[in-house]
Amino acid sequence: MTESLFIGLMSGTSLDGVDVALVAFNQDSSADQHAPRVLHTHFLAYPLSLRQQILALQHPTENELETTALMANTLAILYAEAVNQLLAIHQVSPEKITAIGCHGQTIRHRPEQQFTLQIGNAPLLAELTNITVVADFRSRDIAAGGQGAPLVPAFHQAVFASYQENRALINIGGIANITYLPKTGEVLGFDSGPGNMLLDAWIMQHKNLAFDADGAWASSGQVIEPLLAAMLAEPYFTLPPPKSTGRDLFNDAWLAQKLSGKNYHAQDVARTLVELSAQTIHNALLLNCGMVDSVYLCGGGARNTLLKNRLQTLLPQTKVETTAALGIGVDWLEAIAFAWLAQKCLQQKTANLPQVTGAKGARILGAIYQS
């Protein structure tokens, strides 16, 4: 049996750091070529100052072209450090790695204006690691009229589709996105709305913490029904798929507008933000997906017991578990997906799902920077 090794890098809207996954893909033509074998994983946190600089780039700033280019260099250096740390810890030679699939850090996502921007200076990353890099996965889909997101449903379909149950995989990162894998019929995927992003920003503002561990702080509060209603009135939530979103819509200013003139207790706002995530995920499943037998959670939100319990309460007839039940830990699924996408690019195989993104057709995704 022949295997090829790929590394997937993912740094998402939560801005906590970079996830690294070293993955082996079976190249035996008689076997399932899609099934990945996760060999090693690694995480490198963003320094707080770097996170703040990235957040500042989410909005127009003075001299932002130069600032963005310099940040892309900084990220490439950090990504290379993360890759090299993983390889050194596990004594793997860079020559054994076929390619790195690097998502990059999203700065803007404006599919309605036909562009998306993920930075990370892929050529520099190739130089610093001596490994071929595949990056810029989203632009080709957007050029074909798609949203450029979500891209992971194709990976979910290849690895997790089942003839025994109708599955929904829900990645709760900064944004929550849903992949619906019915036993029969077309795969569906879209962003449901905020995942952890607003709650993370709120607890940083009030507690100077990066996230609400286990939902403990939010659990001490009560849902503010008028605030929840005001947030649920956001038109995005009732748009039909294909759709995707990010910090361009759901940001501090969006929350501040909902809170304008109010004097709510901070823990009650936190509890309401968890409820917003739970209800928008639940509503999105009801509005857009058929029968769901099992929900599998991944991403940082999968560790939020309050959020997980709320989803189980809202979905009493549905089994709610994490992707650990499917053999992949909740923290690594997206990094593994971008290793898979890099493999598809090098194989010159299409990797988007037009019914998910809205693109005019299937496209080969990614730009290749040879080592």
In the predicted model, is pLDDT for residue 58 greater than 90? no
Query: With left for phi above 0 and alpha for psi between -120 and 50, is residue 259 left, alpha or beta?
Result: alpha
Residue 132 has pLDDT above 70, yes or no: yes
Residue 32 has pLDDT above 60, yes or no: no
pLDDT higher than threshold 80 for residue 180: yes
What is the 8-class DSSP label of residue 95?
G
The 10 Å CB-count burial string (b at 16+, else e) for 15-30 is bbbbbbbbbbbbeeee
What is residue 61's predicted lDDT score, i.e. its pLDDT?
A: 84
- The pLDDT of 242-258, averaged and rounded, is 95
* Geometric angle at alpha carbon 70, from 209 and 101, rounded to 5°: 75
Tell me the pTM.
Answer: 0.94
For residue 232, what are the CA distances in angstroms to 99, 222, 280, 359? 42, 17, 8, 28
| d(C-alpha 157, C-alpha 165), whole Å | 13
- CA separation, residue 242 to residues 107, 235, 236 (Å): 21, 14, 11
Q: Is the pLDDT of residue 351 over 60?
A: yes
The predicted structure's pLDDT at residue 13: 87
What mean pLDDT comes out for the span 14-27? 93
Whether residue 31 has pLDDT greater than 60: no
User: Residue 219 contacts by C-beta under 8 Å, 6 or more apart in sequence?
Assistant: 271, 306
**Averaged over 121-133, what is the pLDDT?**
98
Report in angstroms the alpha-carbon separations of 294 from 72, 172, 187.
Answer: 39, 16, 15
User: What does residue 189 show for φ and ψ, rounded to 5 degrees?
Assistant: -155, 145
Q: Which positions ≥6 away from 112 have C-beta within 8 Å?
A: none
- The model's confidence at residue 273, banded by pLDDT at 50, 70 and 90, is very high
pLDDT at 27 over 80: no
Average pLDDT (124-133) is 98
Average pLDDT, the chain: 95
State yes or no: cis peptide before 150, omega within 30 of 0: yes
Asked if pLDDT for residue 30 goes beyond 60, the answer is: no
Q: Tell me the pLDDT band of 28, cut-offs 50, 70 and 90.
A: low
For the cut 60, the answer to whether the pLDDT of residue 325 exceeds it is: yes
Domains and CATH numbers, the chain: 3-148+331-369 (3.30.420.40), 152-326 (3.30.420.40)
User: Residue 237's pLDDT is what?
Assistant: 98
